[in-house]
Amino acid sequence: MSFKDRNRNLEMREGSVLPPEVIAVRKGLDTNKYATKKTVAQGLLDVALLTANASQLKYILSTGKQHDFYNAMVALIATSIVLQVLVGILMLSLNFLRDCRTDDAEYKRSSNWLSTANLALVFCVVIINLFISAFDPTSVGSITTIISDA
């Protein structure tokens, strides 16, 4: 069966007045597939950030007090890791504890509260990681090396 025949069959079955090209495009877009890919990508980015923070904490602890901002870095990295774990727990709560049923009035308030708290915690994680990047002397050294080599 050719592409045109298949589109005509779709048009006949659905009783649509839309041109076959529009029907073919409409059938090709799967929002569930997009949402799944987006969720997986966000999860992988969260894991990457958690791994990077664990690596930074290992570096700071192995360097010890010789690091210029030892106490600040340990506190910031530990806070970031704890907040990331809390964000993960909130996301699981939204998905597994039936709080994602926003159409039900009983769950709507708690769902909105958890979503807002989750957003606030993610914002805090981003700000804390900006400070971690600012106090990290290894990134400054690599930037200085790049500038001096130019």
Distance CA 78, CA 74 (A): 6
What pLDDT digit, counting tens, does each position of 104-117 carry?
777 777 778 888 88
Is residue 20 within 8 Å of 4, Cβ to Cβ?
yes
pTM: 0.65
Q: What's the half-sphere exposure (Cβ side, CA atoms, 13 Å) at 142?
A: 4
Q: Which of 59, 61, 51 is nearest to 81 (CA)?
A: 51
69-125: pLDDT as tens digits: 889 999 999 999 999 999 988 888 877 766 566 677 777 777 788 888 888 999 999
Domain extent, residue 123, equals 3-149
Amino acid at residue number 34 = Y
Q: Tokens 């989750």 appear where? A: 118
- Residues 111 and 117: their CA atoms lie apart, in Å, by 10
Distance CA 23, CA 9 (A): 11
**Number of domains comprising the chain:** 1
Give the DSSP per-residue string, 81-117: HHHHHHHHHHHHHHHHSSTT-TTSHHHHHHHHHHHHH
DSSP letter assigned to residue 18: S
- Render pLDDT for 39-62 as a digit per residue (tens, 0 to 9): 778 778 888 889 999 998 998 888
